[in-house]
Chain A
Amino acid sequence: MDTTNLHDDQYYVYALLVNDRTGIEEIYSRFSGKVKSFIIKNRGTVAEAAAIFKETLTELFLLTKYKNLELTCPLEPVLLLLCQRKWIKSKEEKEKLFAGVNEDIKKTVAYIEEKIKDSERYKSILSTFTPRCKELIETTFSAGDLDALAKNWKIMPDYMRGKRAECMASLINTAELLKEE
C-alpha cells in the first residue's frame, strides 16, 4: 500500500489501536448509523449490524497492530464498504458496491479483505499440520517459552528452532500452492 500521504482519519485507526474511548465513540457517532441503515434495508437486524460493525473494527485493529495499516483515504467509505461487503453474500452484488468508488478507497478495502482472508486461510492450513508443528508455531506467536517446550520434548533448543523454520516454510509453501490452484 502507498502510505506516503496519510489521511487525517488515521487518527481513528490509532484510536482503535490504543483503545481510546473518545476516538472510538467518534467512530460510532459518525459512522455506525449508515452501517445500521444499510443492513436493516437489506433484511438484517440491528443486532446483526452491531456484530458486523464490531467485527470490522476489530479487524482494523488487528491490521493496524500487525500489518501497520495506514489510511490514505477517509475511513467512512472504507468502513461502510467493508461492512456492506461482509453483509452481502452474492459476489456480483459485492462487486456492484464498488461501482463509482474512488480507486484509493477500492484498493484499501481490497487490501484489508485480502489480508483478513489470508490470515484465516493460514489458520485453517495450520490446523492440518502435525500437532508438534502447531504447538511450536503457537508457542512462538503466543510469546510462550520455547526453551521450556524444548525441555518438555527432550530436544535441543537449536534443533527446535530448525524444526520451527521447517514448519513455517512448509506452511507458507502450502498456503501459496493452494492459493494458485
Chain B
Amino acid sequence: MKYTIKNIARYVEGAMEEREQSYFEDAVAIDPALREEMEFYLDKRSTLRMNMWPDPKKGELVDTLEQMNEKYFSEKGGILSPIKRLLGRKK
C-alpha cells in the first residue's frame, strides 16, 4: 500500500485503529522513503508548535532578557555616562 501524508497524520495524531497502526509500523520499518516522510511530518508538526502558542518558559526567559536589556542596552549606561552627565549639567 502506498502511504500518503494523510496516513502519516492519522498515525501520528492517534487516529488509526490497532490493526491499521500495526501495518503502518511494519511499513515504516522497511520503507526508508516512508520513514523520511514521517520525519518530514514530525518536523513540520514541531515547526507549527514552536511559535504558535504561549510557552510559560518563554515568558520567564523574556522577563530575564528584558532585565538584561535594561542593563546592557541602557541609553544612560556606558563607562562614559558619568562624564556625559557632568557635561550635560554644565550646559
Contacts and interface: CB of A to CB of B under 8 A. Distances in A.
B54 to A, nearest CB: 8
Given A66-B46, A122-B44, A175-B44, A57 B65 contact: yes
A169 B44 CA distance: 10
Q: In the complex, which range does the number of interface residues on chain B fall in?
A: 35 or more
Contacts of B52: 119, 122-123, 126, 138, 141
B55 A65 contact: yes
Contacts of B14: 161
B19 interface: no
Given A61-B58, A66-B46, A66-B50, A169 B65 contact: no
Contact of B66 (A54, A115, A140): A54
Nearest to A119: B51
Interface in A16-31: 16, 19, 21, 24-25, 28-29
Contacts, number: 122
A126 B49 CA distance: 12
B76 to A, nearest CB: 10
A53 interface: yes
Q: In the complex, which range does the number of interface residues on chain A fall in?
A: 35 or more
B69 A50 contact: yes
B48 A137 contact: yes
Contacts of B60: 19
Given A19-B57, A169-B6, A120 B51 contact: yes
A172 B41 contact: yes
A28 B72 contact: yes
Contact of B50 (A46, A67, A168, A173): A67
Interface of B: 4-6, 8-10, 12-15, 41, 43-55, 57-58, 60-62, 64-66, 68-69, 71-75
